[in-house]
Amino acid sequence: MSKFLETEFVSTKEVLKFPDHYVALAVMVDDADVQANEDGKKIVPKGTIVGGKSSPVLANLNEPVVEKHADPAVKAGLTTGEDNDVDLNNEIVWEAVTAGHIGNLITVTLVDPDKASESLSITVTGFDIVVSLATGADKAITSTPATIVSAVNADTSAKLLVLAAGTGTDPVEAVSKTYLSGGADPQTTGAEGVLLNDVDVTHGPKEGAMLVHGFVAVDKLPYSTGNAAVAAAAGLVLPMIKFIK
């Protein structure tokens, strides 16, 4: 039978947004994969997102807890052209402005107008970005990554969807409609709570406390990958915990 504890730890003040309103569960913090710091100590810091090592600790209080990695949202991207460092550099890197799966809906098309002396133009319809390339008097494409990047990043509609990068000076080639890819929403697998206090596992598993209900200060989380991103991921699977800036 699960036993919930309403308790106070002196080291929780920095993590809890409202220290007097929370519910925590006594847990055993495992030492698996915890790296020693410069002092030789293995510390699992307060604010770490944790869950049962092999099965849910909320269903089995004897299950030790470990960090459950929170993956921030990923921005979709696309690379057109190439940079072979020898005789060609017409590469453009397109990155969705907004992280998540929605970026995978964005498309890029580079159109050869097949006409003489055309100017570069950009048309955005929904998630579709169409760049009509500039040409010379001989109908040859003259648009380079540098000129396209400048135009796209200045376009009122296109810049809301993507950020383009590329400094190449060689003319680009036409590209058929292509979707950005790789965009992913934040994910946290197996998370059950937030560690309330620093736990020293230098000499093996040690008792700690796991927050299961309360308010956590986002800026006090210990993640170098970005506390806000981790909080967004964890918030999806920890509805009883509110992450507040």
pLDDT tens-digit series, residues 137-173: 999 999 999 999 999 999 999 999 999 999 999 999 9
Question: Which pLDDT belongs to residue 10?
Answer: 43
46 to each of 4, 125, 193, 219, how far by Cα in Å? 19, 47, 11, 12
User: Is 65 or 5 the better-scoring residue by pLDDT?
Assistant: 65
Q: Which residues of 8-31 are buried (b: 16+ CB within 10 A; e: fewer)?
A: ebeebeebbbeeeebbbbebbbbb
pLDDT at 46: 94
Q: What is the CATH number of domain 4-71+187-244?
A: 2.40.300.10
DSSP tag of 12:
G
Q: What is the pLDDT of residues 8-59, one digit of tens each?
A: 434 445 789 888 889 999 999 999 999 999 999 999 999 999 999 999 999 9
**What tokens appear for 212 in the block?**
């299961």
pLDDT in tens, 186-231: 777 789 999 999 999 999 999 999 999 999 999 889 987 678 878 8
The helix or strand, by DSSP H or E, that contains position 102, with its residue range, turns out to be none
E strand or H helix at 226: none
pLDDT digits (tens, 9 = 90+) for 124-133: 999 999 999 9
Name the percent of the chain lying above pLDDT 90.
Answer: 74
Nearest CA to 15 out of 64, 62, 50 is that of 50
pTM recorded for the entire structure: 0.63
Could you write out the DSSP letters of every residue in 170-225?
Answer: SPP--EEEEE-B--B--EESS--EEE-S-EE-TTS-EEEEEEEEEEEEGGG---TT
> Hey, what amino acid is at 242?
K
For position 225, what pLDDT does the model report? 67
**Reported confidence tier of residue 236, pLDDT bands at 50, 70, 90:** confident
